[in-house]
Amino acid sequence: MSIPLRKEDEIIKLREACKLASDVLVMIEPYVKAGITTGELDRICHEYMVNVQKTIPAPLNYHGFPKATCISLNEVVCHGIPSDDKKLKDGDIVNIDITVIKDGYFGDNSKMYIVGETNIRSQKLVEAAQEALYVGIRTVKPGIRLNEIGRAIQKYTEAQGFSVVREYCGHGIGTEFHCDPQVLHYYADDGGVILKEGMVFTIEPMINAGKKEVRLMGDGWTVKTKDRSHSAQYEHQIVVTATGCEVMTIREEEEKAGRISRIMLNV
């Protein structure tokens, strides 16, 4: 396994891409309301990325993916394809996953949105998915095993009465969309990988209200929970630092909440 260690000049470019990616999630929030379709949300994001930010939407045509964003609704775990047939309604929970390319560097993040008010179980699921991400981020520091991230996320998630999806994981990222390491969100063999300063990767736990099993739909992309329970996910892109990590896709709302910070001092 060859894991790139990014130098400062690369990290500067990755910060820019990550800020732009997080800006899209902020921009789209007012549009996430009952009555809009996921296809319309995708077009708004696409136009903003291309015409305002002058970025490239990384998912578009990636291995044949047909849209600029992944939008996953309710029981969809990940890789939901936006469609004009999918109209949001009150009570829905929806994940919007944004990855942009700026000057050859990738920024990748996602967050959950609740349409109106949802049921208590789904509300708690969304909150737990965000905290599971933060638990993973608080674990990151040089010198630890990679699988300590997954151990912490799994322990927290299962204590809340939810399950962690096994088939999909975080990933290295930089001048490629996906590279080593694979960041599992449960405890498993990591091949002995030790975190080092300069490693850049995403943490993006997918948390199910029911059982952990998932199924791939006939379109070859959309992943749903097998038991049709709701699923939630948050994602950040981070770089390992000498004292912990830097959360490169952090949003202002998160910094104000104080649960994580851009510079995490985890040692």
Q: What is the mean pLDDT of residues 99-107?
A: 98
Sorted by where each begins, the domain ranges of the chain are 8-265
Helices (H), the chain: 8-28, 38-47, 120-139, 147-159, 252-257
**What is the C-alpha separation between 89 and 152, in angstroms, rounded?**
34
Q: Is the pLDDT of residue 1 over 80?
A: no
**What is the C-alpha separation between 6 and 240, in angstroms, rounded?**
10
Looking up tokens 């790139």 gives 4
**What is the C-alpha separation between 54 and 208, in angstroms, rounded?**
35
Q: Is the pLDDT of residue 27 over 90?
A: yes
Q: What is the mean pLDDT of the chain?
A: 98
Residue 109: CB partners within 8 Å, gap ≥ 6?
Answer: 18, 21, 22, 25, 97, 98, 99, 202, 235, 236, 237, 249
Q: What is the mean pLDDT of residues 63-74?
A: 98
For residue 20, give both structure tokens: 């732009």
Say which CATH topology domain 8-265 has: Creatine Amidinohydrolase (3.90.230)
Residue numbers in the known binding site for a divalent metal cation are: 97, 108, 171, 204, 235
Residue burial 73-98, b: 16+ Cβ < 10 Å; e: rest: bbbbbbbbbbbeebebeeebbbbbbb
Model confidence at 267, pLDDT cuts 50, 70, 90, reads confident
Residue numbers in the known binding site are: 79, 97, 108, 171, 178, 204, 235
Amino acid symbol at 151: R
Residue numbers in the known binding site for substrate are: 79, 178
